């Protein structure tokens, strides 16, 4: 009996999943696979266990058969087309999700999460490459990650993208139009992408998982309407509605201003997931009563950034109270600590809100943000200052606000060179790390056995400083007095 080739093996795996094709479809399915990858170089090897393994082997066959070019985008596009064969159609996914939801929200998200992992939309193998560890601080354990999951840009792909015709379809990577989109050299493959539809505030929104997740079940909620990010009472209402729908998830929104906002301000969206962040574990250090909302619990959180936590059972009261804090903050100025609501007619204050459910109570953390710049701090007064930008220069968005550092991939090799430098070995350390590395040498006795642990710990302490830089009311005596003065203004 002739051994199955890759196309036949993949077809049999797809049929066995019982998600999209039946046994009678086998010949049709094999021919569709041949169409994409060719009919040669299809030898099966013992290491191929899962449908993703076989799909990736078929991609290599397609390269050998000259069906695709050996490029990152070409491989990703074909893999998504192949795994789409066993991904249920959007309507079926939505139908199954909401059927499971009637049993429990957790069952529904488990179904959707499994689909998104099984078809490699969530890049599980790539995410596993990320470096991750915790660093203890006076604020609790901060979570440090060096993000290695996203593939490096291929110079040939970059050059090719420059010559491609301009298109505004899909409008951006958060558009609903991504569902099923083939992709191109300058836009990710989304053939196997699925979006759950839900209604928030009378509007259609989408719920999807993040392909390069930064934490457990990292998901995105995106507006069907192409509009910029905004923080207002409608935002608070939507966040609480999501947590009502999915009480096992937290959800938050990036701020809606440059410097203090996220990387995509042009499309209204939120992020959530199943993770207990350091900020959520931080206690309230200064409880207070919010006038007019005496039924709610309120307090300043023990955190390097400036956070007010509101808690209670009545969601409508929490929304109203959050709106009150936002309105006062948007107009609040305290020159003694360089906090200015408006300069030359430009608004500088907004909030990063995060909502979660804890037992019978709902909680919302309101992180005060100020995006001013100055001659001394041209990148932002409340942004990582120049002396820590060798570790983190990018915006401090929602995830990092909560205590999980997303550090750039360059640091994997750069910190290794720092280790060699502090051990007095030959090295190729970047000049911008020198002042920090010299300080480390003054404070530590390094050996080959302890150098990595110390450099990791010190990197975490730099991230702590980053969060302190981003705090509008500092954690020193003067800053906390100014914070309490703002609370009195509420």
Instruction: Please state, in angstroms and as integers, the Cα–Cα distance from residue 277 to each residue in 149, 367, 404, following that order.
Output: 21, 14, 7
CB 54 within 8 A of CB 5: no
Strand order in the sheet with 297-301: 196-200, 203-209, 219-223, 269-273, 250-252, 349-358, 361-370, 307-312, 297-301, 284-288
Q: Give me the pLDDT at residue 156, please.
A: 57
Q: Give me the pLDDT at residue 1, please.
A: 36
CA distance 438 to 421: 9
Q: pLDDT tens digits for 367-409? A: 999 999 999 999 999 999 999 999 999 999 999 999 999 999 9
pLDDT grade, residue 257 (50/70/90)? very high
In SS3 terms, 191-247 reads as CCCCCEEEEECCEEEEEEECCCCCCCCCEEEEECCCCCCCCCHHHHHHHHHHHHHCC
3-state secondary structure of 405: strand
Strand 140-146 relative to strand 404-407: parallel, antiparallel, unpaired? parallel
317 cis-preceded (ω within 30 degrees of 0): no
Please name which of 395, 417, 418 lies closest in space to residue 406, comparing C-alpha atoms: 395
Give me the DSSP letters along 73-126: HHHHHHHHHHHGGGSPPHHHHHHHHHHHHHH-HHHHHHHHHHHHHHTTSS-HHH
Q: Give me the pLDDT at residue 162, please.
A: 53
Give me the DSSP letters along 141-184: EEEEEE---SPPPPHHHHHHHHTSPP--SSSSTTSGGGTT---B
Does the structure show a pLDDT above 60 at 26? yes
Q: pLDDT tens digits for 92-130? A: 999 999 999 999 999 999 999 999 999 999 999 999 999
CA distance 183 to 211: 14
Tokens 């999209």: give the residue. 20
Query: What is the percentage of the chain residues whose pLDDT exceeds 70?
Result: 97
3-state secondary structure of 383: coil
CB 53 within 8 A of CB 45: no
- The stretch 42-52 carries a mean pLDDT of 93
Reported as type and span, the H/E element at residue 353 is strand 349-358
Q: pLDDT tens digits for 191-204? A: 999 999 999 999 99
| Residues in CB range of 66: below 8 A, 6 or more apart | 38
Q: pLDDT tens digits for 352-362? A: 999 999 999 99
Please name which of 91, 124, 129, 97 lies closest in space to residue 110, comparing C-alpha atoms: 97
Please name which of 131, 93, 130, 98 lies closest in space to residue 114, comparing C-alpha atoms: 93
Q: pLDDT tens digits for 176-192? A: 999 999 999 889 999 99
CA distance 338 to 291: 26
- Using left for φ > 0, alpha for ψ between -120 and 50, and beta otherwise, residue 384 falls in beta
Count, residues in the chain: 490
Strand 342-343 relative to strand 297-301: parallel, antiparallel, unpaired? unpaired
Overall pTM surpassing 0.85 (yes/no): yes
pLDDT grade, residue 39 (50/70/90)? very high
Q: pLDDT tens digits for 400-453? A: 999 999 999 999 999 999 999 999 999 999 999 999 999 999 999 999 999 999
Q: Give me the pLDDT at residue 4, please.
A: 86
Q: Give me the pLDDT at residue 167, please.
A: 77
Strand order in the sheet with 140-146: 131-137, 140-146, 404-407
């Amino acid at each position: 009996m002739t051994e199955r080739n890759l196309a036949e093996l993949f077809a049999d795996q797809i049929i066995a999943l019982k998600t999209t094709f039946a046994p009678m479809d086998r010949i049709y399915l094999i021919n569709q696979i041949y169409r994409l990858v060719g009919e040669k170089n299809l030898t099966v090897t013992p290491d191929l266990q899962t449908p993703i393994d076989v799909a990736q082997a078929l991609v290599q066959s397609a390269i050998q058969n000259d069906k695709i070019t050996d490029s990152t985008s070409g491989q990703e596009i074909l893999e998504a087309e192949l795994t789409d064969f066993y991904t249920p159609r959007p309507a079926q996914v939505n139908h199954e999700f909401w059927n499971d939801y009637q049993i429990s929200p957790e069952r529904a998200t488990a179904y959707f999460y499994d689909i998104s992992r099984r078809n490699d939309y969530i890049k599980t193998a790539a995410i596993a490459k990320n470096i991750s560890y915790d660093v203890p601080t006076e604020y609790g354990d901060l979570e440090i990650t060096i993000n290695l999951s996203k593939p490096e840009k291929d110079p040939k792909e970059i050059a090719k993208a420059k010559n491609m015709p301009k298109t505004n379809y899909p409008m951006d990577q958060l558009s609903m139009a991504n569902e099923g989109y083939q992709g191109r050299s300058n836009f990710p493959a989304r053939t196997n992408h699925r979006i759950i539809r839900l209604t928030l505030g009378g509007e259609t929104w989408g719920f999807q998982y993040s392909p390069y997740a930064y934490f457990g079940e990292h998901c995105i909620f995106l507006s069907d309407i192409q509009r910029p990010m905004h923080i207002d009472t409608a935002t608070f209402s939507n966040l609480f509605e999501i947590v009502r729908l999915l009480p096992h998830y937290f959800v938050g929104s990036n701020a809606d201003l440059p410097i203090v906002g996220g990387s995509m301000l042009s499309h209204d969206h939120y992020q959530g997931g199943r993770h207990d962040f350091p900020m959520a574990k931080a206690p309230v250090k200064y409880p207070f009563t919010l006038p007019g909302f005496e039924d709610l619990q309120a307090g300043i959180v023990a955190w390097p950034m400036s956070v007010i936590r509101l808690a209670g059972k009545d969601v409508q009261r929490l929304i109203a109270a959050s709106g009150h804090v936002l309105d006062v903050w948007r107009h609040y100025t305290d020159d003694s600590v360089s906090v200015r609501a408006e300069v030359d007619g430009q608004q500088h204050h907004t909030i990063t809100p995060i909502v979660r459910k804890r037992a019978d109570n709902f909680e919302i953390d309101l992180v005060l943000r100020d995006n001013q710049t100055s001659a001394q701090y041209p990148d932002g007064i409340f942004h990582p200052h120049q002396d820590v930008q060798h570790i983190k220069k990018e915006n401090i968005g929602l995830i990092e606000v909560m205590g999980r550092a997303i550090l750039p991939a360059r640091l994997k090799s750069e910190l290794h060179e720092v280790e060699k430098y502090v051990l007095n070995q030959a090295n190729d350390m970047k000049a911008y790390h020198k002042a920090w590395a010299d300080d480390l040498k003054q404070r530590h006795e390094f050996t080959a056995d302890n150098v990595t642990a110390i450099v990791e710990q010190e990197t975490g302490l730099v991230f702590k400083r980053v969060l302190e830089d981003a705090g509008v009311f500092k954690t020193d005596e003067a800053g906390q007095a100014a914070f309490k003065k703002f609370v009195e203004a509420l």
